A and B are shown apart, each in its own frame.
Chain A
Amino acid sequence: MASMLAFAESLGGELRKVAFEAVTAARKAADASAGQVHTLLIGAPGIGARAAELGRYGADVAHVVEHPALERYSPEVFAATAAAIIRQGGYSAVFFAASAQGRDLAPRVAAKLGTSLASDVTEFEVKADGVVARHPAYTGKIIVTVRLTGTPALLSLRPGVVTPVEAHRTVQVQTVAPAMDPTAARVVVTALSQGGGAKLDLGEAPVIVSGGRGLRAAENFKLVEDLAAAIGNAAVGATRAVTDDGWRPSTDQIGQTGRLVSPDLYIAVGISGAIQHLAGMRTAKIIVAINRDKDAPIFKIADYGIVGDLFEIVPRLTAEIRKVRGTQ
């Protein structure tokens, strides 16, 4: 019997989708040996009320750490507390999200425990003699399979590669104190500036509509935004060329040096398909490309491509989708 721990990432008092992805991954690993799934939830007082949502995805136990100074991520307190819980728990594997927070937290925890971490994992298998994990490297051109022999094995999962699956449990809440005084942290997040308000995060959106240089000017991104709005549950992304030029904020960049995304549907508008960009989206389930150049590399990986003038094609697509979906 091997138990697993999933780190439940939250933002502003709400669980993020990546938290459910980590719990689903842990549940799958634990079920192979009839083990338990524990979760760790850290935040401001009241965060413990979210524990039941973790139970919905298969958590048996939620270790809840509440403190007024932990409303925002505090790397030192989170790492010290996670390491303390993991030391006591005797877990076989610990799952983090390879989100901005998880990529910061997981290596710190690994170093505190003297164990190893497989980063940005897209597939894994927990075996008796260690954990085997796959990780895209070399701008996604090479898939590296690694074996972790340390105990516990730490993994950070690429957002979107695990689909959360409901597996109802009545979660048992265990209240835990932070492993260090949260007011004594040396590194302090003093401000959190929200980007575009309540917009859907690229890592969580089932559909991404993304624009490139083919749009010719920043204001033409309206076409992309309108299409995303017509679809409804869609986020807007961009290529590096576009964010470098300041047409879109750098947080919208999809590619090797930006966000790595795996949505159900990725619509590339006016994007030629540079390697840098493909590395960030080639794991999308379905790719649609709209580009005037029939030889653009994006058409080599697009499930459905339309060659032509995006300024005619995109508004037509938006209009047709509005008709079907009854959206604005």
Chain B
Amino acid sequence: MKIAVCIKRVPDMEMRFSIGADRKSLDQGGLKYEMGDFDSYALEIALRLVEAEKSGEVVVLSLGPDSVQEMLRKGLAMGAARAVQLKVDDIPFDGMAIASALAAELKDGGYDLILFGRMATDTANGTVGPMTAELLDLPCVTSISHLEIASGRGTARRELEVAAETVEFPLPAVLTIDEGIARARLASLKGIVAAKKKPLEVKPAQLGQARLSVESLALPADRPPGRIIGEGADAVPELLRLLQTEAKVL
């Protein structure tokens, strides 16, 4: 089985963010970057599928500036056979612009599966996977938490709000991966050494036209500062009074 996994380099979300002088981008000072969580689960499930079949290959792709190469090497160290960087100076916010570039690259790749994380943890849009599937006219299941592949067909589970769907689809297909499916492995020392010799191809990204652009970034409006109204069960009547008369939510 030949599987492409599209991965994004995102900042560590535990960091404190501040906004750059242009008001449209983050201040990069002190930011640490890593592979998106959901993307790492997608890579893990791809590696497991190929390992179980004992044939095929996993290809990792990332759209971005040269700084994505370190993350692509990590993907190779985890076990991907080769990597592709679709080079752009700045990653657009418009999912369609990105999906167009990915679709152009993936179109004639002969992939049985194309995997994405269910969303990038930074921009939190979750649009590139299904958009790419539409542009390639491939079956697509999003946000899956369980996957089985047998004789050219797949069965996946999708968690909804109050229910879960079981979904069947033929290959080739595009899937976006939720958590719960597999924890990503750590790269072994042997893998890290081997990764240095694996191919990492750099190509210009053929971005689509962006019809959505970032106007500005802002910090969220502060909630009013927290207020501790009392200690222990004796504070319960006061809480009830505030909820009824001040907040008027009960």
Contact = CB atoms under 8 A, between A and B. Distances in A.
Interface residues of B, number: 84
**Most chain A beta carbons < 10 A, residue from B128, B168, B223:** B223
Nearest to B229: A304
Given A11-B163, A144-B123, 6 more contacts: A148-B211, A300-B226, A306-B235, A308-B235, A317-B240, A321-B250
Interface string B199-232: 0000000000011111111111001111111111
Contact of A194 (B135, B162, B218): B162
A104 B130 contact: yes
Does more than half of chain A's interface fall in helix, strand or loop, or is it mixed?
mixed
Interface string B173-213: 10000011000000000000000000000000000001111
Interface residues of A, number: 93
Interface in B80-117: 93-96, 99
B124 A189 contact: no
Contacts, number: 269
A313 B232 contact: yes
Contacts of B130: 104, 107-108, 111
B212 A118 contact: yes
Contacts of B13: 138-139, 141, 256, 275-276
Interface stretch (B1-9, B54-62, B66-74, B141-149): B141-149
Contact of B249 (A117, A251, A265): A265
- The main secondary structure of chain B at its interface with chain A is mixed
Nearest to B179: A257
Interface of B: 11, 13-14, 16-17, 19, 26, 37, 93-96, 99, 121-135, 139-143, 145, 155, 158-170, 173, 179-180, 210-220, 223-233, 235-237, 239-240, 242-244, 247, 249-250
Contact of B236 (A112, A116, A142, A306): A306
A320 B237 CA distance: 8
B240 A320 contact: yes
Residue with the greatest number of chain A CB neighbours at <10 A, chosen from B13, B141, B211, B242? B211
A309 B226 contact: no
A285 B95 contact: no
Nearest to A311: B233
